Structure 1
């Protein structure tokens, strides 16, 4: 086994790699891993920095909370040092505002790449941007003290960091609307029952459960996992017949590869 190598460590984000598993850690526990534009850019950079050998990415937060959401400094008139405030953004053109939000979203989009499987290890608060970051991952293992909440609507905003699509996919439109519009907390039992959480464990077993899941994911051949993930991701955009066709094409590729006949 190779040593744990640090690939990136900046703006509240640390990326380490050990063999086929990468770990992205939010490293500001004193502020409950509150998020900022600098952190979002660091998350995007972490995605670009992944070695090609990585198959599983674990996302975790140091301390008692996974992430309490957007840093409250964002709501002050001055905002973050060196960043446009929300008021400044609102004064920009539609194109400028769209471009800035698109840049923020980049830290949340790469987690569903078909060549990796991503796992969020979530404890304590996962609020707003923290909830959306957990939703960006393929799988979620949560501690019994987890508290999910989507508070953007309560602040007069909307969830805009790619969280709405996976939330509706997991819990359905009606429950997603209710969670977002009320801003209420979703605790561990409901998270597991509704599909937000793949597994709920005691807090002191969270890291071990994630390691076990990563090992199970690595046991299958990489190309088979990649093809399977791509098939499942495409279900919502394909008809039943189109999905059958996609399954046949994927299986043909796998059979030819196993037979040594692939290009």
Structure 2
């Protein structure tokens, strides 16, 4: 499939989705949201997924303010549901999803990064839940996912005041896992995605499922969930191969 505002490239188990509207700082208009949803749906077989924005200025600068300005409450509800559906699909994707944040990540762009499993930022990246200055609040998951990464106090300042975090500050509070020079971002993320793609796929999916449950169920239920996932991997090719390779002091050959 092909789209005007989103590109999808796949190679060696890695799918790279790029929001391609650099003249609009990769803002998510309706056309781009639909393309993004379809692109995510095309990556079911990927072992790792990378999400980024085109150009050197922005990851995704936000949602389409021109569209939102005049919509009704019912239309806003539908718009929120579209965003949630897409970002939930990213958060629950079988494969780990990496956000390569190469510039501004404001509003919906910050929420897109939050929906990913890992975030790597270039030194010029800036994060912000800036919706308050538009007379609204984050509507695509920001009020829920942000505090789980950065803590309640930082999340409240970002949402209440529209405070922005540069890449170094984002790393300090746990919003991103790594900050690299902009010229090195693509290579660093490519290496990270390749390392993930080389891991056993079923075990990686199970690991993501278990980690996603941390905030969804009490610890006792989460521990029971982990036990079921762990035991269910025994007897698979990758479990047998991984343990045999360890005992034989060789590299494993996972499916």
Q: Among residues 129, 152, 162, which one is paired with 1:183 in the alignment? A: 162
TM-score when normalising by structure 1: 0.84
Contact preservation (8 Å) 1:55, 1:116: yes
Structure 2 counterpart SS, 1:216: helix
Q: Mark the CA change 1:153 to 1:24 in structure 2 (over 3 Å): closer, same or farther.
A: same
Q: Among residues 103, 109, 114, which one is paired with 1:130 in the alignment? A: 109
Q: Among residues 47, 56, 65, which one is paired with 2:48 in the alignment? A: 56
Provide the residue aligned with 2:70 in structure 1.
87
Q: Mark the CA change 1:99 to 1:195 in structure 2 (over 3 Å): closer, same or farther.
A: same
For structure 2, the 5+ residue unaligned runs are 242-255
Q: Among residues 82, 87, 95, which one is paired with 1:103 in the alignment? A: 82
Contact preservation (8 Å) 1:40, 1:106: no
Structure 2 counterpart SS, 1:224: helix
Provide the residue aligned with 1:4 in structure 2.
none
Contact preservation (8 Å) 1:114, 1:230: no
Structure 1 counterpart SS, 2:137: coil
For structure 1, the 5+ residue unaligned runs are 1-6, 80-84
Provide the residue aligned with 2:19 in structure 1.
26
Superposed displacement of residue 114, structure 1 = 4.4
Counterparts of residues 181-260 of structure 1 (less than 5 Å): 181-257=160-236, 258=239
Distance across 2 between alignment mates of 1:215 and 1:184? 34
Superposed displacement of residue 97, structure 1 = 4.5
Question: How many correspondences in the alignment?
Answer: 238
Runs of 4+ in 1 over 6 A off after TM superposition: none
Structure 2 counterpart SS, 1:255: coil
Superposed displacement of residue 100, structure 1 = 3.8
Distance across 1 between alignment mates of 2:79 and 2:21? 24
Superposed displacement of residue 19, structure 1 = 2.7
Q: Deviations over 1:13-43 (max 9, x none)?
A: 1112113111111111122112212211111
Q: Aligned pair 1:155/2:147, yes or no?
A: no
Superposed displacement of residue 141, structure 1 = 0.4
Distance across 2 between alignment mates of 1:201 and 1:113? 27
Q: Deviations over 1:191-211 (max 9, x none)?
A: 111111011000000001101
Q: CA RMSD in A?
A: 1.9
Superposed displacement of residue 259, structure 1 = 5.5
Distance across 1 between alignment mates of 2:80 and 2:93? 24
Structure 2 counterpart SS, 1:59: strand
Q: Aligned pair 1:68/2:61, yes or no?
A: yes
Q: Deviations over 1:143-174 (max 9, x none)?
A: 01111111101111010012222211101122
Q: Aligned pair 1:117/2:78, yes or no?
A: no
